[in-house]
Homo-oligomer: A and B are copies of this chain.
């Protein structure tokens, strides 16, 4: 096991009707003038935003609104948020929505206290050393942003999707009411579930030896997702299944299941180019990319994949041919993704094989090597996109 730090100071407030207390949590964590940040019309139409405003009013808080966050949240709205926070001297950002809204809120929070261009944090030019406090009311189980210090933003000019991370970006509190996710369409629910599983797999495939505790915790989250996801697809109003998925999604991404080990994250990087180019849902892109990545890198350590196959997917171990068990595990994963309505190849996603050279170019690896479970070069990236283009079960 490798040395590590783990720091997750977010207060999670979980369960039915908890969003009605959001005003008092903003107060508890020092807010008085709030930027209320949210996405499209559904949070307004459902009456959620009205209830949030009631709670803010009841707590005696003043606030400004900034809605309109898109999936794959844009830098343009971040600049707008920074401008409003400075102009109105706001001291707290309340994000009401899914990962896109929360990521956008985090970018604003860091940008307000920075003299330069906030994009510096996302292109690796500067490190975040301060941020306004952020609180969240989570409406989608997927990104894990409610419990992480990470944020991913898309630069509209060139559709560059890049991430930043810092302990300063961890929300002070996150209110998680599983019932708020009940109105999500099945497709988006499945995209979220795929993202949650991907966050675990990115940590699970490692070259670090002797990390049984984080292996087992990863498997715990994955087993939960295999049980609960089909239940919410079949019955969107199954509160308990939604609750299990929501907490699993948070556990998957606070990094408690990933400490003490090298992690991978190449599937996320490879997928980001897809969702940036086609503006498809991140989870759907991962459903296409992640099993393709698995197939490509499996020969690097078949026993690790055999472990996943047996412990997570319940495959029978083929002791004479572990690589067959490994391949069977990947097949089971892809079959699971299809069963919950996810695309598994380029055609189903709406991507084009002819774009592969452009995708590899944008991935920006050049003649270099990307570290991780298996080191990847440009040829590997091309091969993974090709597997993804043609995948079948």
Contacts and interface: CB of A to CB of B under 8 A. Distances in A.
Interface in A1-26: 1-16, 18
Interface string A238-282: 011101100110010000100110000000000000000000000
A196 to B, nearest CB: 11
B12 A6 contact: yes
A256 B6 CA distance: 14
Interface stretch (A183-191, A206-214, A295-303, A338-346): A206-214
A389 B140 CA distance: 52
A227 interface: yes
Given A217-B251, A221-B216, A224-B213, A244 B3 contact: no
A178 B260 CA distance: 12
Given A5-B13, A15-B3, A251 B213 contact: yes
A179 to B, nearest CB: 11
A260 B178 CA distance: 12
A178 B2 CA distance: 11
A91 interface: no
Contacts of A7: 9-12
B247 A228 contact: no
Interface string A195-237: 0000000000000011111101101110110011000000000
A18 to B, nearest CB: 7
A247 to B, nearest CB: 5
B9 A244 contact: no
Contacts of A212: 223-224, 227-228, 244
Interface residues of A, number: 44
A228 B211 CA distance: 10
Nearest to A14: B4
Given A15-B2, A213-B251, A243 B219 contact: no
Contacts of A209: 240
Contacts of A223: 212, 216
A173 to B, nearest CB: 9
Nearest to A173: B7
Contacts of A4: 12, 14-15
Given A212-B227, A227-B212, A18 B6 contact: no
Nearest to A214: B247
Contact of A256 (B9, B224, B256, B259): B256
A13 B4 CA distance: 6
B248 A213 contact: yes
A1 B240 contact: yes
Contacts of A8: 8-9
Contact of A224 (B13, B216, B228): B216
A372 B317 CA distance: 40
Contacts of A16: 3
A243 B12 contact: no
A251 B11 CA distance: 17
Contacts of A228: 212-213
Contacts of A244: 1, 210-213
B220 A260 contact: no
A1 B220 contact: no
A10 B7 CA distance: 6
A227 B307 CA distance: 15
8 contacts: A4-B15, A7-B11, A15-B260, A210-B240, A210-B243, A213-B244, A213-B248, A219-B220
Interface of A: 1-16, 18, 178, 209-214, 216-217, 219-221, 223-224, 227-228, 239-241, 243-244, 247-248, 251, 256, 259-260
